[in-house]
Chain A
Amino acid sequence: MYISHKIPKMRMNGKHGFLQRVIQGLTDACYIWRQEMKLNVKDEGVLMFVILVPLAYPLLYSWIYNNELVHEVPVAVVDESHSALSREFARQCDASPDVFIKAYVNDMREARRMMERQEVSGIYRIPHDFSTNVNSMRQATVAVYCDMSLMLNYKAVFQTAQAVSTEMGKKIQISISGNYTHREDEISTQPLDFDEIPLFNPSGGYGSFILPAVLMLIIQQTLLLGIGLSAGTARENNRFTDLIPVSRHYHGIFRIVLGKSMCYLMIYSVVAAYLSVVVPRIFNFPALGQAGDLFAVLFPYVLSCIFFGLTLSCLIRYRENVMLLVVFTSVPLMFLSGVSWPQSSISGVWQAISYVFPSTNGVRAFVRINSMGGTLSDVMPEYRALWIQAAIYFFLACIVFRYQIMRLRSHILQRLAYIRRKRNIRRKLRARVRL
């Protein structure tokens, strides 16, 4: 056993110079790096989460949200007015991109049945006095019934009706006003003109909105899963069920943390580049970020995810448990990042909790650089928070690994004492037999 000659060697180290120790440490770190890499390449489970999922998931999500917008939502029309004006209303709704009139039905009961059978998402009911009211200068109404189980369909059904009613209203105003010039018409229908300008994600596409956040979350979640799985395996293969193998290369905290993180940093430099640069460009999602800014944000993000993962990995007793702990957090973290739910509406407690996870800052910074064309100075608070997180989790990882090393050492010493005791007993027994 090499344990016996390990302790004298460590004492010897103290005599050598500082430089010697640093060199030794770096060599060990590189050894651990190589070892970790070898283990991961052999481990199907780790490969799946660290390579396959980051490669395939973005493609899948891009496919799901490929169409970006909701078009041609089916609607039923109950036209009780049967007038030229009511038919024009329905025709204009049908002509709009978001709504298509699936059926003209006779009464509300029929329309409701269609709604119940999920055939339509809304009902336009034009009452019998619609045309009469308009022509006698009374306000006419159109009743819009919306299925509220899908927000985007509701928006399409409602906003189309509203836009058509405004447009038709303008025509009616012009015909009443009896103006002479086109300019007068404009002034009487809309004395205060306005422009609506969507600045970022101008099409309002669903994919362009959600995908950047998903990409960043994939980095964190797959890293946590990968590191956790490989830690679980390491423990299961260890004779004392410890995280750290018995080897002379593993007797320093920094070299373990450095070595392991180098391995993941190596893999995730490629993965992060693929996710942040390649995927948005393949699928034509917004990609306004400058390379330098993206790198500046992603580097501390990946680092803090790695150290966070290393810290968590000490909690993993069996390799499969990591999935039970990590997978479900994806959805809440998505909401905490301030993309699905506005950051200004997240209460203080949840804001505080959200700062535990690197993804919160990572997603925010990436969205603003990638989708809004921000620069590093625009995401300074997030950038700083990411470095702070990286530092905190680095030290936490060190503390946790120190504890692991102590545990390993005490396990080894126990084992040693046990062997010695056994040897003593055997010797005594032998002596007694000789006697």
Chain B
Amino acid sequence: MKINNHIRRIAAIAGRECVILLRNPVYWFCMVIFPVSVMLFFTSLMDDGQPQEMPVGVVDLDNSSTSRSLIRNLDAFQTTRITGRYASVAEAREAIQRNEIYAFLYIPEGMASDLLASRRPKISFYYSMTSLTAGALVFRDLKTISTLGSAAVGKATLSARGFTSSQIQAFLQPIRIDLHQISNPWTNYNIYLSTMLVPGVIMLFIFLITAYSIGTELKFGRSRHWLRLADNDIVVAIIGKLLPQTLIFLAIVSGYMYYVFGMLQFPHHGGFSDMLLLGLMTVLPAQGFGVFVFGLFPSLRMSMSICSLWAVLSFSIVGSAFPVSSMDSELQALSWLFPLRHYFMAYQVTVFNGYPVSDAWLHIVSMLAFTLLPVILLGKIKNAMLNYVYIP
């Protein structure tokens, strides 16, 4: 009987909430349009997987057939494209400063003849690490081409001496590295970054919208009406209010997962149940956090400010770009306070790598804790709803 009563109240409040959501275009934008456009933005921006054909210059003072073939080979790499030839190192450096190239190869005069005469000529390559992705990738190509330059000479000498090709191979590279890139053998940046950034933005909106929807009750003077519908039971009031939002956000997260794992075929070893768990674990902790922050600072402005600052900070402290394990130990501890961090850990353990869920249990428990966090502040929220007046 009592439970029936509760359910009826929750349904009534949820219905009221649906009307609010439909009427205010802000909700449309923040719950559907913005998350979807951010998802399309990141996945289309990094569609290539890795940046391709990045501009690189050459300073070729040798102008021999050897140097030209070196340059041609460099140009043939997928990530590098030779866009400029410069007369001197200074000119090429200025081209980097003008953002025309990311790196350049310097071949001094007499390289080919020194090579033939075994005088061990020296080439150099210069690269800029102000864009870490571009710098690291062109560095890799330049280093490979420089090493291959040596190998070509070695190969010619050894085959002239009459060694077999397997012997030459063994001499030139006695120890080979057999690389296994687990789950992302293409070093695809889209897989690596979009799976953190898009859920991060969705969580940002959940934070903000949760605080916003509760705070506007106070702002527009509807809070007493809201609580009356719930018969002054704050638990019923909050569940009823957040339920429609939960469902909408769950739909958005499922849509994101379908798009990314289903259509774009990002690696997903975890299977359906893990993804479902992860979807729930994106929405509920973020909502819990939003309610908690509103409970701490029961003013619309303050709670939303805290939520935005926290959400923006999440993108750094999640540690997918710069690992948490390399941060100071205080920050490693602080990272536990960010729901996105737990999402990322749970995602990479269960879905990305397909390891057992039990290996991420600590993070799943933390997300549950975030979901239940508002419980300790329910009294305060109720008091705010009944007695506070909105101050801009």
CA A344 to CA B137, docked complex, whole Å: 13
Q: Which residues of A contact B359 (CB under 8 A)?
A: 116-118
Q: Which one of A18-26, A57-65, A266-274, A276-284 contacts B? A: A57-65
Given contacts A143-B180, A350-B41, contact A187 B120 (CB under 8 A): yes
CA A68 to CA B352, docked complex, whole Å: 26
Q: Of B48, B315, B345, B356, which contacts A116 at CB under 8 A?
A: B356
- Taking chain B's interface residues, is the majority helix, strand, or loop, or is none over half, making it mixed? helix
A332 contacts the other chain (Cβ, under 8 Å)?
Answer: yes
B350 → chain A closest CB, angstroms: 11
CA A338 to CA B305, docked complex, whole Å: 28
Asked if A144 contacts B177 (CB within 8 A), the reply is yes
A1 contacts the other chain (Cβ, under 8 Å)?
Answer: no
Asked if A141 contacts B178 (CB within 8 A), the reply is yes
Q: Of A148, A196, A372, which contacts B184 at CB under 8 A?
A: A148
A359 → chain B closest CB, angstroms: 14
B88 contacts the other chain (Cβ, under 8 Å)?
Answer: no
Produce 1/0 per residue, A271-308, CB < 8 A to B: 00000000000000010000000000000000000000
B159 contacts the other chain (Cβ, under 8 Å)?
Answer: no
CA A209 to CA B319, docked complex, whole Å: 16
B65 contacts the other chain (Cβ, under 8 Å)?
Answer: no
Q: Which residues of A contact B212 (CB under 8 A)?
A: 320, 324
Asked if B131 contacts A209 (CB within 8 A), the reply is yes
Q: Of A143, A190, A212, A364, which contacts B178 at CB under 8 A?
A: A143
Within residues 296 to 337 of chain B, which ones have a CB less than 8 A from any CB in chain A?
A: 300-302, 304-305, 308-309, 311-313, 315-317, 319-323, 325-328, 331
Q: Which residues of A contact B125 (CB under 8 A)?
A: 194-197
Within residues 61 to 78 of chain A, which ones have a CB less than 8 A from any CB in chain B?
A: 61, 63-67, 69-71, 73
Within residues 337 to 372 of chain A, which ones have a CB less than 8 A from any CB in chain B?
A: 338-347, 350, 364, 367-368, 371-372
Within residues 241 to 288 of chain B, which ones have a CB less than 8 A from any CB in chain A?
A: none
CA A324 to CA B26, docked complex, whole Å: 8
Asked if B176 contacts A165 (CB within 8 A), the reply is yes
B366 contacts the other chain (Cβ, under 8 Å)?
Answer: no
A379 → chain B closest CB, angstroms: 8
Asked if B52 contacts A323 (CB within 8 A), the reply is no
Q: Which residues of A contact B149 (CB under 8 A)?
A: 192, 194
Asked if B120 contacts A338 (CB within 8 A), the reply is no
A416 contacts the other chain (Cβ, under 8 Å)?
Answer: no
Please give me the residue from chain A that is nearest to B37 by CB atom. A332
B126 → chain A closest CB, angstroms: 5
A419 contacts the other chain (Cβ, under 8 Å)?
Answer: no
Q: Which residues of B contact A372 (CB under 8 A)?
A: 96-97, 128, 130
Q: Which residues of B contact A104 (CB under 8 A)?
A: none
Q: Of B132, B142, B180, B356, which contacts A196 at CB under 8 A?
A: B142
CA A321 to CA B25, docked complex, whole Å: 11
CA A318 to CA B182, docked complex, whole Å: 49
B180 → chain A closest CB, angstroms: 5
Please give me the residue from chain B that is nearest to A138 by CB atom. B170
A89 → chain B closest CB, angstroms: 8
Q: Which one of A9-17, A168-176, A404-412 contacts B? A: A168-176
Asked if A206 contacts B321 (CB within 8 A), the reply is yes
Q: Of B120, B309, B353, which contacts A191 at CB under 8 A?
A: B120
B44 contacts the other chain (Cβ, under 8 Å)?
Answer: yes
A45 contacts the other chain (Cβ, under 8 Å)?
Answer: yes
CA A25 to CA B42, docked complex, whole Å: 47
CA A236 to CA B99, docked complex, whole Å: 46
Produce 1/0 per residue, B37-64, CB < 8 A to A: 0100110111110011111000000000
CA A146 to CA B301, docked complex, whole Å: 45
A429 contacts the other chain (Cβ, under 8 Å)?
Answer: no
Our count of residue pairs bridging A and B at CB distance below 8 angstroms stands at 321
Q: Which one of B7-15, B201-209, B221-229 contacts A? A: B201-209
Given contacts A196-B139, A344-B51, contact A206 B308 (CB under 8 A): no
We find that the number of chain B residues with CB closer than 8 angstroms to chain A is 117
Q: Which residues of B contact A202 (CB under 8 A)?
A: 129
Q: Of A323, A344, A364, which contacts B308 at CB under 8 A?
A: A323
Asked if A347 contacts B44 (CB within 8 A), the reply is yes
A147 → chain B closest CB, angstroms: 6
CA A332 to CA B315, docked complex, whole Å: 12
Please give me the residue from chain B that is nearest to A324 by CB atom. B30
Within residues 104 to 157 of chain A, which ones have a CB less than 8 A from any CB in chain B?
A: 115-118, 134, 137-155
Asked if A146 contacts B93 (CB within 8 A), the reply is no
B386 contacts the other chain (Cβ, under 8 Å)?
Answer: no
Please give me the residue from chain A that is nearest to B81 by CB atom. A344
B233 contacts the other chain (Cβ, under 8 Å)?
Answer: no
A158 contacts the other chain (Cβ, under 8 Å)?
Answer: yes
Q: Which residues of A contact B192 (CB under 8 A)?
A: 148-149, 151
Q: Of A140, A168, A201, A364, which contacts B128 at CB under 8 A?
A: A201
B157 → chain A closest CB, angstroms: 8
B24 → chain A closest CB, angstroms: 10
Asked if A344 contacts B182 (CB within 8 A), the reply is no
B147 → chain A closest CB, angstroms: 8
Asked if A158 contacts B130 (CB within 8 A), the reply is no
A201 → chain B closest CB, angstroms: 4
Q: Of B131, B315, B317, which contacts A342 at CB under 8 A?
A: B131
A287 → chain B closest CB, angstroms: 13
Asked if A327 contacts B311 (CB within 8 A), the reply is yes
Q: Considering residues A63, A173, A190, A374, which has the most beta carbons from chain B within 10 angstroms of its beta carbon?
A: A190
Given contacts A198-B127, A331-B197, A344-B55, contact A146 B181 (CB under 8 A): yes
B371 contacts the other chain (Cβ, under 8 Å)?
Answer: no
CA A57 to CA B34, docked complex, whole Å: 25
Q: Which residues of B contact A199 (CB under 8 A)?
A: 93, 96, 126-128
Q: Which residues of B contact A186 (CB under 8 A)?
A: 120
A127 → chain B closest CB, angstroms: 9
CA A262 to CA B129, docked complex, whole Å: 38
Asked if B170 contacts A139 (CB within 8 A), the reply is yes
CA A371 to CA B179, docked complex, whole Å: 34
Q: Which residues of B contact A35 (CB under 8 A)?
A: none
Q: Which residues of A contact B309 (CB under 8 A)?
A: 53
B74 contacts the other chain (Cβ, under 8 Å)?
Answer: no
Q: List 17 A-B contacts (CB under 8 A).
A: A64-B317, A66-B328, A67-B326, A67-B327, A139-B170, A145-B180, A148-B187, A154-B181, A197-B126, A200-B128, A323-B308, A324-B30, A331-B315, A332-B41, A342-B54, A364-B99, A368-B97
The 10 closest A-B pairs by CB, nearest first: A149-B348, A345-B51, A148-B184, A342-B134, A194-B146, A201-B129, A195-B124, A374-B97, A165-B175, A191-B153
Apart from A191-B154, A196-B139, A198-B139, what are 6 other A-B pairs with CB-CB below 8 Å? A44-B302, A116-B356, A139-B173, A142-B178, A201-B128, A324-B26
